[in-house]
Structures are given as C-alpha cells and as structure tokens.
Amino acid sequence: MRNLTLLTDLYQLTMGYGFYRQNKHEEEVVFDLFFRKNALITYSVFAGLEQAMDYLLHWHLDDEDVEYLRSLHLFSEDFIEYIKNMRFTGDVYAVREGEPVFPGEPILTVKAPLIQAQFAETALLNIINHQTLIATKSSKICRATGGKGVVMEFGLRRAQGPDAGISGARAAVIGGCASTSNVIAGEMFDIPVAGTMAHSWVMGYPTEYEAFRAYADAYPDNCLLLVDTYDTLRSGVPNAIRVFKELQAKGHKPKGIRLDSGDLAYLSKKARKMMDEAGFPDAIICVSGDLDERSISSLLQQGAKIDSWGVGTRLITSEDLPALGGVYKMSAIIGKDGSITPKIKLSDNTAKITNPSFKKLYRLYDKENGMAIADLITLREETVDENEPLTIFHPVETWKKHEVENFRAEELQYTIVKDGKLVYEFPALTEIREFSKAQKAKFWEEYLRLDMPQVYKVDLSNALHKLKTSMIDEIRGNTKKGGEK
C-alpha cells in the first residue's frame, strides 16, 4: 500500500517549519472543514470520513521521504527528525458519512497541535471534497429515478485516474447507487459489481444472434444482452427474444436487455412491448449512455420503460460541478488552561467570513412529524433547551426570523478520534447508504428538488452571532486606526 503521508502542499511544510522555529508548533488549535454556498449546491452528502481518518492516523515518513525532504534544502535536520516521528495526537469531530449537510456548517473539526492540524489540511480536503462531491451527485441522480429502478455506477473509464475511480465508486454507493462496474472497488469496499458485455462482444461474432447465443451459453441464469450494436428494434430485440426463448426452453430465466444509444424513451417503450408480447414481462430494460439526474427525469416524464440505470461519466466526474470547494479554516486557539481564543477570517465577500471559535452543530426536528426544520451552529459550551421556544435568524439578513417550538435538537458531530486514537466504529458501506437514504427522507422535497429548491435554514446561535459581530467590528476598527495618520 502506498504511503500517502506527503500528500500535502509544500506550504503546509514550510509553515510547519516556521511554527517549529518560533516554538508555536505544539500550541493547540481548532480547524473547521466546511463548504461554501454554490449555485449548484443546495445540500451535500458527507463522504470520505473513513479514508480521511485512515490517512490521518497512519502518518509516517519512509527513508525515501526523509531523503526527499532533505534534498529540498528548506528544513533543518532537527525539524525533519521531528516530523519523521510526528503522529496525530489530537481529536476529530465529524458528522456521520451519508448525512445531508449544508453550506457553512462545520462538517469536520480538528482540535490538535498547530503543526499537526495544519499538516492535515490538504489531504483532508482532497479526500472529503472529492467523495462528498460524488456522493452528492449520486444522491441527485438516484433521487431523480423516483425509486423506479436501481442505479449502477459505470464511471471508471472516464474517472480522472484510478484513485478517483475507486473512491468515486465508494462515494456513489453512499449517495444511493446499488452497484458498480469497478471490480477493484467491489473487492475493496464489498460493493456488488455489475456488468455484462460491450459492443465488441457482438461485433466479434459473425452475427448478432450467434453473439447472443454464445453469451447465453456462458451465463444462462444472468443473461442480459446489449441490443443496440446494429439496429435495436429490427435486429437487437428480436434476436434477444429468440435467445430468451431458447433459454426458457432449457429451464432458465432470461434477465433482460441493455440500451446504450438512440432515443431511450422511444426504444424502451417499444422494446418493453415486444418483450411483453413475446412472453417475457419480467425481463428488465437497463439503459446507459451519458445519463444524469436531468436526463433521467426527462426520460421518466416521457414514460420510458426502464428498470435500471447505468450512469458513468456525468456521475464519476460530477460534470456540472467538478469541484466541491470545501475549505479548512482555523477557528480557535486553545490555551494551556483550556481557555478558547476565537479566530476569524474577514473578507469583503460576506460568504467568505468564517464563523469563529470552537463550535457544535445541531439539527432541529419537528416533534410532531419528525421533519427537519433548520440547522443551528452554536458555541461549544452552549446547549439547546428543547423546552423553550427558540428564535432562529438568518446569519446575515438578521431581520429574517423564525420562532421554533415543539422541536427536538440533535447534535450532528460525533467524536471520531480522541487523543490520536480512533474511538468511532465505521459502519459497512451499505449501512451508510441506508442511513443516508433515511436522513434525506427527513427533509421536505422542497429542500432537495432539482429546480429552484427552497433554501434550508442554517443559523447561528445568539451567542455565536454576537461573538462574530463583535470580532468583525473590533478587527475592522483596529485596521482603520492602524491606517490613520
């Protein structure tokens, strides 16, 4: 297995060296990982936590790594020796994989010595940004089917390299996919694998019928035939039916056909009629070919007769949004006495102003119907009193207020790592998928729909809002004074 400890940006190491030189490297700090609002992102499905923790808890520099760092002539020998022996000793808090999350929320928090927390940034973002992006795209695609058929992940050949193909398959299952064509991902993550034949199989025989017969001979109880190599309705489907009848006569049950091109709505309806009339109403129709949530939604609106969906390029690359844009920002320094000094990043762009201090994340549910009302970010020491009405308000447009009553508050972050030790048991991938499905069912459709979704409320507690406002005023006031002559 590859050692990915140096999966980081150079400036993490140069900053680490600077901290070390200034004897700041072991100061305890808090960093939050979150993503910002995007026109295409209304919610995301958190993924990648298990791989991120695997990276974090297995830091070690090989001899080759040490020699490479020496060759850069940027670091002293004592610093290289320090990071050679460095292991993660901090705490990690995170929401569970599969959880729907929203812009601005701390979905993962690291509390650790400064050099460790800083060094972790690049890899954590790399792993979580990618898997969360693909899980989110998968969720949208699977929701578009409306429960009409399963979705299979078919994207390996179009993924941006082996790592993206493997981790992308895992994330796609978290989002809702039932299987993958990716054999190594199937082996690594215990994902059901799916796939039958390519057009080359059909083209490799003198006739389409002979190609179908040969495949049926190899897989009599799992015979799904690709019918669009030459002419779907005049050749492919009739030849498939002919072979299905031969299988049936031998006591086998054909599985179905796959369409990979053409007018999928029209072809699926015609093929369904042909197979039904031939006595194969249970034979499924699988489709593939540049599908995504919008094309699936359109096909269903046209009355397409489709039982399973093979989705590749537009899923594994998240074609319409190729990067999540998650960020990792310092929010506090922890004193030796446990005191918290909040930190904030300012910007002329309101969306880029961070939320300071060590925080918690709550989700508020209506006690009567169990549906999500809003999410609330609070200071770490705060608790939410479920017995008292709670006024929530927009973090920027504060006149937008809403009083919540008869609610249940659930803390979303769990302790994953404590003092450098894993204290959380990761569920099986299928469990994460079912958890994600159940969590999404707690949101009204208005928040998750593809077109013009309602904005889900993510608000700050009064105490956090006051802290943030006072820090902005203080820093901008000091900046102004510093610029006066």
**Assigned token pair, 6:** 């140096």
Among candidate residues 28, 39, 56, the one with its CA nearest the CA of residue 128: 56
* Over residues 341-358, mean pLDDT: 93
Which sequence spans correspond to the domains of the chain?
Answer: 10-134+322-480, 196-288
Strand, coil or helix: 318: coil
CA distance 442 to 158: 34
pTM comes to 0.95
pLDDT tens for each residue of 412-463: 999 999 999 999 999 999 999 999 999 999 999 999 998 889 999 999 999 9
pLDDT for position 485: 35
* Over residues 178-187, mean pLDDT: 97
CA distance 176 to 465: 36
* Mean per-residue pLDDT of the chain: 95
CA distance 436 to 444: 15
* Over residues 252-261, mean pLDDT: 97
pLDDT tens for each residue of 371-403: 999 999 999 999 999 999 999 888 878 888 889
DSSP secondary structure letter of residue 266: H
pLDDT for position 484: 46
Strand, coil or helix: 406: coil
Q: Taking 60 as the threshold, does the pLDDT of residue 482 lie above it?
A: no
> Are the CB atoms for 99 and 410 separated by under 8 Å?
no
CA distance 439 to 436: 5
**478 CB-near residues (< 8 Å, 6+ apart):** none
In this structure, the chain runs to a length of 485
pLDDT for position 278: 98
pLDDT tens for each residue of 204-251: 999 999 999 999 999 999 999 999 999 999 999 999 999 999 999 999
- Give 305's pLDDT tier (boundaries 50, 70, 90): very high
- Give 479's pLDDT tier (boundaries 50, 70, 90): low
Cβ of 360: how many Cβ atoms within 10 Å? Answer: 21
pLDDT tens for each residue of 40-69: 778 999 999 999 999 999 999 999 999 999
Cβ of 278: how many Cβ atoms within 10 Å? Answer: 17
CA distance 341 to 339: 7
CA distance 106 to 121: 14
> Are the CB atoms for 175 and 197 separated by under 8 Å?
no
pLDDT tens for each residue of 30-39: 999 999 887 6
Q: How far apart are the first and last CA of the chain?
A: 60
CA distance 369 to 275: 44
Q: Which CATH number is 10-134+322-480 given? A: 3.20.140.10
Question: Class assignment of domain 196-288?
Answer: alpha beta
pLDDT for position 331: 98
**Could you give the strand order of the β-sheet that contains 421-422, starting from the edge strand earlier in sequence?**
340-342, 326-334, 28-35, 108-113, 91-94, 414-418, 421-422
DSSP secondary structure letter of residue 256: E
pLDDT for position 478: 75
Cβ of 246: how many Cβ atoms within 10 Å? Answer: 16
* Over residues 75-81, mean pLDDT: 97
Amino acid, single-letter form, for residue 227: V
Q: What DSSP line would sit under 275-315, residue for residue?
A: HHHTT-TT-EEEEESS--HHHHHHHHHTT---SEEEE-HHH
pLDDT for position 1: 63
CA distance 133 to 314: 12
Phi and psi (nearest 5°) for 212? -65, -40
- Give 481's pLDDT tier (boundaries 50, 70, 90): low
Long-range (24+ apart) CB contacts under 8 A made by 181-188 are 181/152, 181/153, 181/154, 181/155, 181/156, 181/310, 182/153, 182/155, 182/156, 185/156
Percent of the chain with pLDDT over 90: 91
Integer-rounded Cα radius of gyration of the chain: 27
Q: What DSSP line would sit under 235-254, residue for residue?
A: IIHHHHHHHHHHHHHTT---
- Give 357's pLDDT tier (boundaries 50, 70, 90): very high
CA distance 27 to 57: 20
CA distance 300 to 450: 15
